[in-house]
Amino acid sequence: MTQRRETSRLAGDGDALFVPLLLPPDTPAISDTRWFWVGRGGIALSQGPPPGEPPVHFVGMQGTVACWAADLEPADPAPDAADIEFVDLRRLWGQVPDADWILAGRAVQLVEWARTHRYCGRCGAETKPAAGERAMTCADCELLAFPRLAPAVITVVHRGDEVLLARGVQFALPMYSCIAGFVEPGETLEQAVRREIREEVGVEVGEPRYVASQPWPFPHSLMIGFTAEWVAGEIEIDPREIADAQWFHRDALPSIPPPISIARRLIDGWAAQA
């Protein structure tokens, strides 16, 4: 099959229901294939498999279209640059439908998981795909390693017509966002919300209210969004994590994250509640 970029055509299938599967169904149920080539600093969409025999992972079915991910390492044959374009996953957002972008993120996470679990974390022996489930199993001690997923809470803290936004020390641009952090072992999500807000900006909030969640493949997180009302305390930042934090009026918001992020959804949702 001639390998050529098919982003526009593939995007046309984006409304079909996606079902994650470990193995493809019987051939009569498959009308077409789509491939996510992961490597060279980005991801490319194609109808056909890449050259050579790279590791591949079945992602699932989008309607009757079978979706695959291929791990292209530097030693693999380079595809024709005129036919295939590798795009950073962040840049891909907005170029394809949201459903396709989420699929691409899933492909990237599966490839990265397989790359980083080639050897057992307990005894160091080589691993192989486990039978019947999405896991790698150790050939010697039989330890199972499932795809890594790091849950993180992200919260928009509000006080009347004001919202508390912070600029992380790692932000390359002067952008303000919601308070976020990873869930610690043994914590509930609500406990993580309160702890992160207290640690990063020094204030106390009431009962966190769940809003939405978002898979975040940078590299393997699940962002769980909340809203919470301020109840006490003045802003006192943790300088190791936060460069600045302020209360902003809903009519005078600073530079905030783009729509790709659940942070923007949380901020926009609060601002719309006039």
Summarised one tens digit per residue, pLDDT across range 119-139 is: 999 999 999 999 999 999 999
* H/E segment holding residue 180: strand 179-182
CA 33 to chain centre: 23
Answer with the residue of higher pLDDT: 27 or 185: 185
Of the pLDDT bands very low, low, confident and very high (cuts 50, 70, 90), residue 78 is low
Instruction: Flag whether pLDDT at 211 surpasses 70.
Output: yes
Residue 163 tokens read as 């919202």
State the pLDDT at residue 274: 60
Task: Give the CA distances from residue 41 to residues 19, 28, 102, 110, 171, in Å, rounded to whole numbers and listed in that order.
Answer: 27, 35, 18, 15, 21
d(CA 152, CA 222): 6
Average pLDDT for residues 217-236, to the nearest whole number? 96
State the pLDDT at residue 4: 28
Residue 238 tokens read as 């943790």
| Phi, psi (deg, nearest 5) at residue 203 | -115, 165
Of the pLDDT bands very low, low, confident and very high (cuts 50, 70, 90), residue 16 is confident
Write the pLDDT tens digit of every residue in 240-268.
999 999 999 999 999 999 999 999 999 99
Average pLDDT for residues 210-225, to the nearest whole number? 95
Average pLDDT for residues 161-174, to the nearest whole number? 92
Write the pLDDT tens digit of every residue in 38-76.
987 789 988 888 888 899 999 999 999 999 999 987 655
Instruction: Flag whether pLDDT at 13 surpasses 80.
Output: no
Give the count of beta carbons closer than 10 Å to the beta carbon of residue 128. 11
Of the pLDDT bands very low, low, confident and very high (cuts 50, 70, 90), residue 79 is low
d(CA 65, CA 38): 19
Per-residue exposure over 52-81, b if at least 16 CB sit within 10 Å of its own CB, e if not:
eebbbbbbbbbbebbbbbbbbeeebeebee
Q: Which of 7-16, 70-79, 145-154, 165-174 has the highest mean pLDDT?
A: 145-154
Instruction: Flag whether pLDDT at 102 surpasses 70.
Output: yes
Average pLDDT for residues 173-192, to the nearest whole number? 96
Mapping DSSP to helix (H, G, I), strand (E, B) and coil, where does residue 193 land? helix
Average pLDDT for residues 164-193, to the nearest whole number? 95
Instruction: Flag whether pLDDT at 83 surpasses 90.
Output: no
